[in-house]
Each structure stands twice: as structure tokens, then as C-alpha cells.
Structure 1
Amino acid sequence: MRGIGMWFRMLGPLEVVVDGRPVDLGGSKQRATLGLLLLQPGRVVPTSRLLTALWNEEETPVTARKILQNAVWGLRRRLSVLSEDGRDGVTLSTRAPGYTLEVAPERIDLHLFRQMATEGRAHLASGAPEEAARHLESALKLWRGAVLSDLTEVGIVWPEVTTVQNARLDVLEDWFEAQLECGRHASVLGEIATLVENEPLRERACGQLMRALYRCGRQADALGVYRRLRASLVEDLGLEPSRELRLLHQAILEHDPALHAAQQPAVRIAAPAVVPDPPARRHVSIVLVRAGFDRPVGEPRETDLVLDELDLRIRQEIESRGGTVVAALGTDVLGLFPGRPYATDHAERAVRTATAVCDAFARTPGSAVPGGTEVKAAIVTGEALVRRRGAEGGVTSLSVSGMLPHIAQTMLTQAPDGEVQICPATRKALARSAAWERHPELSGHQATHVGGASAA
């Protein structure tokens, strides 16, 4: 990111570079405010979201809004001075219910990263691995460390940061795939091994490591990678490896000649599954959240944007607590929290997710969403059929079926707006984990189970 003008660098410590020189951004609150606005350029970031991003709920000072206003004022003055000739088109504006940073996306390294990654993936999908590797490597070179690392060092923890960090790992796996298809397995073996060591449950990377090891004549080591991954999946999640990985394992056992080819579509972990895995009966908690409005919020386009914001916030709450969004239709989002061996907190995590969503969208001044927002949720715990499905890019997804989703739908229909309805099994699981004692705020969201017995 070189050249004349103002550039914003987020893929590492937050920096603003003007004509090739970094400039002072002020204190930590001012920097954090800019960082959050840059994660959503051109979009209104509500004041309430900025406040929760800058302070934990128990640490929010009574002067928080004034501090935020001062931070925005300082940023606005600094940016106006840096772009005084107007050539960069950078504007920090007040727009209800918060603030928006207008900046050309191509002046933000995160946008350039995503653009290069998209181009690289297109080349990879079209059978041009050399071009793919070049674009993907250029995207990865934009990174100077963990995203917004200076802010995370002072305790900033945002779901958006985790999403960007995970996007880098996805692109790194794409680059590995391109290198393998170019026959450069020996040169990337060490980097793949490092990723697997740091992220042992990433199945795509494990598959890539197995293929690289096998091509280097290390069949036993390749099979060892599979054994370790399978043991971790079974012990931690109660799941078997994906169908693609099982096919690759079998191909290595049989010395399949296709493994030595430059491209192996039959066993590539990046290929979508043709046949989904059979369902497994698992003990889970599911949360069904519905968000909407009791009156129109504006033009259809404006309503769509607000609904998209609601959907994004709900997904972030689910994923930040270890859940998976398995379905979404209209204003309904279904999250899955599988039970894990030696851990019984899946019901608690589901309840805390639902209450956090309801609390975030409470009708309070400066709320993240317009007044008239209606949010409710239903949580059911029990056995369900969980199926793993292959997805584009080698990422596996989960789906859930059986009676539990049906019961959750019934409960949600009868749940009052702003409330969380909990089935008896969920409440029993919470009692075992002492969640009610640790988190007394959850007791305010009890409701009756309308699918059968009452929540006692």
C-alpha cells in the first residue's frame, strides 16, 4: 500500500499512512473508534455498538458517551487536517443512530485483501493455479501481524476481528491448494504443518498436509495426521472426520496414483461433497431467534439493510459462543450448540446467546436498531440428528433435523416479544452447570415449554 494520499492499514497494528508516512492517531479510545468504523466503511455504526466495543458493561463510565464524542471529534479534526485538499474523500459524519466513515474501499488494506483473495479463488476454480497462487500470495503479504493487534493487546475483543482473522486462514489454505496443484508440495510442507499445529481441527489444512507428506514419500506421517485429527474430533466434538478426508485417507492407504497428479479432484479437500455424511444422533442445544419490527422502518431498501444488520448481529452472538448457524430464513436464525464429551455447557452457551441478543436489541435510547424492534427466542435441549455437509472451499457445515427444531418453532410461536423460552431439559442442564447461580440475569428469561411439560 504505497503511493500518494491517505491509506488505512488494519491487517496488523492500526495505521493511517499519508504520502508514505504513518501519522499519530491519538489515544486508545480514538484508535479503537477508528478501527471499528473501518471494519464497516460507509455504513452507520450505532452509538450503542461503539460504546459496547470500547468498554465492558461493568466498566462503562458514566461519562462514556462524552468520551466517545470527544474521540470522534478528535478523529474528525485529525482526518480533516490530513485530507484538507479533499483529494482522499475521507469523511467522518454523524448520522443517526451513530457515525459513519466515508472512505474509498481501495484505500483500506482489508478491502484490498478481500479483492485479491476473490481474484485468486476465481483463478483456482478455473484451473489456473499459477495465477491463483500469485494473487493469493499478494493478498497474504498485506498482513503485518494479527488484525488490529495494537487494539487486541489492550483488551479489545470484537467478533468482527475474529471473522477477519479466520478469513486469513481460509486464504492461506487456498494458497496451499494452489501450491499443491502446481506441484510445490515440498516448498509449502513446513508452512502447512505450522498451520495444522496451531489449528489442529482445520480439516482442510490437515488434508493438505496429508497430501504434501504423501507426495514427499512420507506415507506413515500422512496417516498419522489423520489419526490425530480423528482422535481430536471424536474426543472434543463427538464427530468423525468429513467424507472428503475419509476418502483421502483411504486413497493414501491404497497408494492411489491420482495422489501424485498435479490435480486430484476426487480427493481434494477443497471439493464440495457430492453425498452428505449420514446423520449422527447427538445431544445438543438449539436456539431459534426471530427478529423483526412492529411497524415499518422506511423504504424497502432501508428495511433490507436493517434486517441484514440484525441477521449479522445474531450470527456473531451465536458464533462468538462456539455455536454454528445451521439455518436462516427471513428473520429466523437457527443456531446449534453440540454437546461435547467432558463438557456440559452447551445449554448455558445457548441461553447466554439468546439473552445477549434480546438485551442487545432492547428498546433503549441509542439502540443498535430502530425502535419497534421485536426479538424473541426459544431454546431446546435434547437429542437430534446432526449431519455434516461438504461446502465450497473445503469448509464443512452442520445441519440439524428431528423433533427438536420442530419443538423450537412451536415454542417460538407462543413466546412473548423480548423473551427467551426455555424447555425443561435446558433448565435442568443449566441447574447441573450452576448457570442460574453464576448468572442470575438468566432467570429473568424463563418461560413455559409449550411443546409438552412446563418448565419447572
Structure 2
Amino acid sequence: MLEPGLPARAPGSFLARHGNGYRFTAGPEALDLNRFRALVTDARTFTGRAEPTQALERYAEALHLVQGRAGDGLADTPGARVVFANLDDEFLEAVLAAAGIAVRLHRPARMLAPLRRAAEMEPLHELVQASLVTTLAAAGHRAEALTTYRVIRTRLADELGIDPGSDLQQAYRRILRVSAAPAGFAKATRRTGPGRRPRTARDG
């Protein structure tokens, strides 16, 4: 399973005999976690250099490596739960940073998949849910963004007895402001540009 092309009984790269059993060994280059952390470090470096496009690419590559909760089903001791929870936090932090960049670059759709994954992992994490609401709206999915907000608002009330915090409320208000803008205003502004007036029927 680990090395499908390896001939029978040939020594492999990952399993070595150890006493009456086997020991699994893998170099740093074989671990997704190391690759994830290296890519996130690169992304932060590009962010610090004011190179957001390159930062977003590194974040996207890193987040693609994460398929769900770290150690899902294996956290059977308090120590293991702490380790895996910290790894999940690394993923959430990277998602939030990447989503902010994607929205600023007008490429919000790029981060919807990892954001949805993060929101499923942490249904009560207000920063993650607020980022999902904002990114959905920026990608043109306003109905889904509003539904997402209402779901998390109800969940917070039912499970924790609290109202949405400032981040969620601000994300909601931004959707309402955009929805309330005069139809066609943004399009006309982009088309005519500063210092030019829109063409009208009288212009011929």
C-alpha cells in the first residue's frame, strides 16, 4: 500500500523490521505537515514583501494538503488531543489569512473550498464563519452568505446562548450595504471611470 511498485520481500523506504514487528519511518520530505508549514512560511514572507498574488498561491497549495481534522479518530488521549488541536489551529489561521488576501485581490472563489472545510470543522468559530460569509458575498453568492449568517446566528443562540460577535455582525452589515446599493451603480462607476459621466440616451 505504501509503495505499490516495490517487489515482494524487497526492503522498502518506510517499513523496517523492528524486533517482532515493524517500525514506520519517513523523512521530512514525505510528511504533508512539513510541506504545509514550509508553504505557509513562504506565503507569510510574500505577504511581508507586499506580494499578495504569490502569497495566495502558496497558501492555496498549502491548504490543498489539508483534507480534514488532524488525527481524526486518533485523538484518544489528552496529549494527542492538544497536539491535533494545535495542528487544526495552524490550518484555520492559514485559511483566514488566505481568504483575506483572496478577497482583496478580487479572487474570493479561490478560497471557498478550504473555507467551507474550515467552517464544517469549527461550526462555532466566529472568525471562520465571518470570513466564510464575507468571502461568499464577495464571490457573488449573497443568498448563501445570508443563509450562512442566519445558521450560525441560530446555532450560537441555541448552543451557547449568545448573539453573534462584532466580526459576524460586520460581515452581515457589509452584505446588507452592498444589497442596498442602487442597481447598476457599481457597474456604471467601473465603466465610466473617474472624471467621466455615464452615457445617456440624450448623448446619442
In which range does the TM-score fall when normalised by the shorter chain?
0.5 to 0.7
Post-superposition CA distance 1:212-265 (Å, at most 9, x none): 3323433333222222212222332233323232222112112188xx9xxxxx
Total equivalences in the alignment: 167
- Equivalent position of 1:117 in the other structure: 40
Q: SS at 1:255's partner residue? A: helix
Aligned 8 A contact 2:107 2:139 in 1: no
1:194-205 to 2 correspondence within 5 Å? 194-205=117-128
- TM-score w.r.t. the length of structure 2 is 0.60
1:218 aligns with 2:170: no
Q: Give distance in 1, aligned partners of 2:48 and 2:156.
A: 29
Higher helix share: 2
Aligned equivalent of 1:21, options 13, 25, 32:
13
1:36-55 to 2 correspondence within 5 Å? none
1:90-109 to 2 correspondence within 5 Å? none
Q: Give distance in 2, aligned partners of 1:187 and 1:134.
A: 10
Aligned 8 A contact 1:210 1:225 in 2: yes
Give the CA RMSD over aligned residues: 4.0
Q: CA deviation at 1:203?
A: 2.1
Aligned 8 A contact 1:121 1:174 in 2: no
Post-superposition CA distance 1:121-152 (Å, at most 9, x none): 34335543211122223433555775456x81
Post-superposition CA distance 1:3-56 (Å, at most 9, x none): xxxxxxxxxxxxxxxxx93224769x986xx9xxxxxxxxxxxxxxxxxxxxxx
Aligned 8 A contact 1:233 1:239 in 2: yes
Q: SS at 1:246's partner residue? A: helix
Report the CA distance shift for 1:227/1:127 in structure 2 as closer, same or farther (over 3 A): farther
Report the CA distance shift for 1:221/1:125 in structure 2 as closer, same or farther (over 3 A): farther
Aligned 8 A contact 2:56 2:98 in 1: yes
Aligned 8 A contact 2:70 2:87 in 1: yes
- Equivalent position of 2:103 in the other structure: 180
Aligned equivalent of 1:152, options 50, 74, 84:
74
1:171 aligns with 2:94: yes
Structure 2 letter corresponding to 1:246:
Q
1:255 aligns with 2:178: yes
Report the CA distance shift for 1:196/1:161 in structure 2 as closer, same or farther (over 3 A): closer
Q: Give distance in 2, aligned partners of 1:199 and 1:231.
A: 15
Identity of aligned residues (%): 25
1:229 aligns with 2:146: no
Post-superposition CA distance 1:86-143 (Å, at most 9, x none): xx9xxxxxxxxxxxxxxxx888654453343233134335543211122223433555
Aligned 8 A contact 1:207 1:245 in 2: yes
Post-superposition CA distance 1:435-456 (Å, at most 9, x none): xxxxxxxxxxxxxxxxxxxxxx
1:209 aligns with 2:201: no
Q: CA deviation at 1:168?
A: 1.9
Q: Give distance in 1, aligned partners of 2:17 and 2:125.
A: 37
- Equivalent position of 1:450 in the other structure: none
- TM-score w.r.t. the length of structure 1 is 0.30
Aligned equivalent of 1:244, options 160, 164, 167:
167
Q: Give distance in 2, aligned partners of 1:198 and 1:208.
A: 14
Aligned 8 A contact 1:146 1:165 in 2: yes
Q: SS at 1:152's partner residue? A: coil
Structure 1 unaligned blocks of 5 or more = 1-19, 35-78, 83-87, 89-104, 261-456
Q: Give distance in 2, aligned partners of 1:191 and 1:198.
A: 10
- Which fold has the larger relative contact order, with Cα–Cα distance below 8 Å and residues 6 or more apart in sequence? 1
